Structure 1
């Protein structure tokens, strides 16, 4: 496991603000503007706090946590565009989580699957 992978487990906010957060790209694949990066970091923090309130973490969240996120008072009011931003953020998080878990558990099978966009959009 790399130092960055371990940072995702020990301090996900720091990890997201590092290279992973700054490499994010918009729909046109150009790097996000400074304002967009701040917005994405705020969204990440909002989701992370939701997970903490549910007693879970970035390293262990699953589809039930995402479903519960959509049902929060804020989540129910999100526009379609905001939900899509969250879906993209969650998809990146799930993909990163899956790759980190594969690195850690090369000797055993991994039951953690990425949260797909279609699963995240359910109930919209």
Structure 2
């Protein structure tokens, strides 16, 4: 197993104290096998920023697979963490209302689809 390294922030955890009592460390890592790294040579790990936790979330991007398989359309997965950001609540509210204003009889699936498109922007 190999440590994938990282980009962005150097540390993934802090004790939320101010200097000189501040402690920071890279506690969270991503390990990958040689086979996986060979299949996804452009894979990378990013330490994301978030202000509501003492840990930074990790984001793994694996790029495109090099085995020649056709790329399938990915399913949408709602991330509960999106609810932490007030701006995302407004995005959903506005997207939902936009559909309802255009046609009050619009079905729920089209309203949800519009919310997905807005969240992914």
Larger radius of gyration between Structure 1 and Structure 2: 2
Structure with the higher fraction of residues in helix conformation: 1
TM-score bucket of the superposed structures, by smaller chain: under 0.3
